[in-house]
Structure 1
Amino acid sequence: MARLNIGVMGAAGIAPRAMTGPSKHVKEVEVVAVASRDATKAKEFAKKHGVPRALGSYDELLRDPSVDAVYIPLPNSMHAAWSIKALRSGKHVLCEKPLASNADEARRMNAVAGETGLALVEAFHYRYHPVADQLKRIVNSGEIGEIMRAELRWKFDTSRSNIRFDYSLSGGALMDIGCYQIHLLRFLTGQEPLVTDASAERTSEQVDGAMVAHLHFPGGLDARIECSMISKELVQDLQLYGSKGELRCDSPFLPHAGGSIRILHDANKKRVKIDPTETYVYQLKAFAAAARGGTPAITGGDDAIRNMEAIDAIYRKAGLQPRGT
């Protein structure tokens, strides 16, 4: 498989962790350029992270014939426009989650990916780590019986000046971290949820600093998700309650950072071993396979549309507007 040359669109804080760092462990790819609207910032990023070329605009990156694919870690509100532009420029796209501001944007992005025949992948990196499939196998095995209830929490505190609190940039706790929780539940059940209730703690008129949502799945599972960027509590976990036992997973979305899976069955407890390899390494390998080998990505456009539909429904149920509307 030919090496995939990747350009980074935006010198964002997540880029070293999600792209330039992991690329050193994935022989199928090379990060060859970084672009920023601030040329000085691009040069500083390139020098610090060993990227060969620094470019002063996103358009310049898309015109570069040596770039096969782009990684887009821009603010959520910019995902759709630049992903579509990249696809129409002949570049495969790995775009940060959530893929779009809303489901309609995701549909447009997916349509262009279909027209161009290029890979459009949403960067739900956790899904490419073996722990996700481990959780699915445990659920399907019946080891804890029929899954009746699920609870997911992801809570932390961050500066209110963070762009994630900006509605014009499609911010909000549900967009930033709740999207993961919805995605995992959809994967584990293989079903799409009905939003039965949702309530937001607002940091501004339309922005959720925290969100609690209740979901019902056709197979009978009831789930509660809680996500917060304004909590003094630091927690990220999943609990599944079955007819024969319970499953508890710490750090399901960053399993390489202290993750664990414990199964409680009657008086017995079992701990499942977790691969310490970073999720981003697995994601980058999968992106290269999708772009070069034509292997369908498991977090492609169709999946992103369904995830965004659930996000939009939660916002409406909480009395907030879907982002980008």
Structure 2
Amino acid sequence: MGRLNGARATFEASGDKVNVAILGAGRIAHTMADTLVKMAASSDYGTLIHPYAVAARDLDRAEAFAGQWGFDKAYGSYEELVADPNVDLVYIATPHSLHAEQAILCMQAGKNVLVEKSFTANAAQAREALDVAKQTGMLCAEAIWTRYMPSRQMINDIIASGEIGEVKAASANLCYPVADKARMTDPACAGGALLDVGVYPLNFLDMAIGADHGRVIDRIDTSMTPWPATGVDAQNSTTLYYTDGTMATATSSMLVASDRNGTVWGNKGYLVVTNINNPSRIDVYGNDHEIKRSINVPTQLTGYEYEVADAANALLDGQIECAAMPHADTLRIMELMDSLRERWDLKYPFES
């Protein structure tokens, strides 16, 4: 077990904090560092979280990162990071293709992990990592922030209230022009739109009308446009048909910008979520297309704080998964994305 796993009473009595480390020092690692610093300074999370360490494959880069954000420790290798007995929770902020091996490295060293989406490159890797969590008793959670945000329950509450009537269809899209980033077009990095941005529309639909509401996918229609040089998906569209006749469409692209909206349609009206990647507002409409009400999502530090707090509380309770994104949900989404790539005949080099 880790330093604090299952030790909530001792933790609260001692005034200790969950020491969070970041594995990787890229763009998203900086966003997490900003989150941890803000959490440590806040009244809501200040007694829970401490920004502790960072590791990169270059010590100078790690030291610069630690200096910028005020972290206690900087390491020039991931092995040194996981050898530090004071690390409690490691946020993995590297390309998808590395997540499984790095999560396993951490857990086998007694470290809990919060793994940036997509959790792994494929379902086989996900199963391997989740098996190690069970073997070691370490927390292993996917850091897809929208699963942990208050907006998830807000959307589900509107649907459950019957305000928009019986839900029978939905759509969600997320598109950014990011093909200029080398990893996005590189099959060896599990590049393409699907794992980087397409995972959000699929998760939105899973929460808004899918598994959160007991629906099961019956069949799938999907297609993609390949990136000419490497064959990864440049943009894609997927329609999910559920066993009760409900239909949902997910679209993602790394070529263009989109409105990023999620919509849920019922027979008495519909709701529109502004930015499924970080919901800011939910608008509810009637069948006359007149807006009935607009609900603002609560102010947040960065939006990442919810996943960190859930992970910290779960490890203190001795859990190996977070309630907001349990292992079954992570595996279901990974299996869904595998099935889409199978239909596209898209394999990454390390899968062959």
CA distance in 2 between counterparts of 1:194 and 1:173 reads 24
Residue deviations 1:34-61, cap 9 Å, x none? 1111111111111111112111100000
Map of 1:203-282 to 2, 5 A cutoff?
A: 203=227, 204-231=229-256, 233-255=257-279, 259-267=280-288, 268-269=290-291, 270-277=293-300, 278-282=302-306
Helix, strand or coil: the match of 2:158? helix
Which of 187, 191, 200 matches 2:224? 200
RMSD over aligned CA atoms reads 1.7
Contact 2:174 2:277 in 1 (8 A): no
1:307 aligned to 2:343? no
Change (3 A) 1:65 1:37: same
Which of 308, 321, 328 matches 1:284? 308
The one-letter code matched in structure 2 to 1:215 is L
Instruction: Compute the displacement of 1:187 (Å).
Output: 2.0
Which of 94, 101, 104 matches 2:121? 101
CA distance in 1 between counterparts of 2:187 and 2:103 reads 20
Query: How many positions carry a matched residue from both structures?
Result: 321
Q: Which moved more, 1:42-51 or 1:262-271?
A: 262-271
- Following TM superposition, the consecutive aligned residue runs of length 4 or more in structure 1 with deviations greater than 4 angstroms are none
Instruction: Compute the displacement of 1:94 (Å).
Output: 0.3
| Aligned position for 2:28 | 14
Q: Which moved more, 1:314-323 or 1:272-281?
A: 314-323
Residue deviations 1:36-90, cap 9 Å, x none? 1111111111111111211110000011111112110111000000101111110
CA distance in 1 between counterparts of 2:199 and 2:244 reads 21
CA distance in 1 between counterparts of 2:176 and 2:314 reads 33
Contact 1:72 1:93 in 2 (8 A): yes
1:175 aligned to 2:195? yes
Q: Among the aligned pairs, what percent are the same residue? A: 30
| Aligned position for 1:321 | 347
Helix, strand or coil: the match of 1:215? strand
Contact 1:19 1:284 in 2 (8 A): no
| Aligned position for 1:162 | 182
Residue deviations 1:207-243, cap 9 Å, x none? 1111111111223221111101111x34211011111
Query: Comparing both structures, which one devotes a greater share of its residues to strand?
Result: 1
Change (3 A) 1:118 1:275: same
CA distance in 2 between counterparts of 1:311 and 1:62 reads 30
Map of 1:135-150 to 2, 5 A cutoff?
A: 135-150=155-170
Helix, strand or coil: the match of 1:84? helix
Change (3 A) 1:192 1:51: farther
| Aligned position for 1:66 | 86
Contact 1:76 1:99 in 2 (8 A): yes
| Aligned position for 2:77 | 57
TM-score (norm: length of structure 2): 0.87
Q: Which moved more, 1:291-300 or 1:134-143?
A: 291-300
Helix, strand or coil: the match of 1:230? coil
| Structure 1 stretches lacking a partner, 5+ long | none
CA distance in 1 between counterparts of 2:350 and 2:166 reads 38
Residue deviations 1:167-212, cap 9 Å, x none? 1011111100111211222222223434522111211443111111
TM-score (norm: length of structure 1): 0.93
Change (3 A) 1:250 1:312: same
Which of 299, 317, 320 matches 1:293? 317
Helix, strand or coil: the match of 1:77? helix
Helix, strand or coil: the match of 2:260? strand
Change (3 A) 1:21 1:142: same
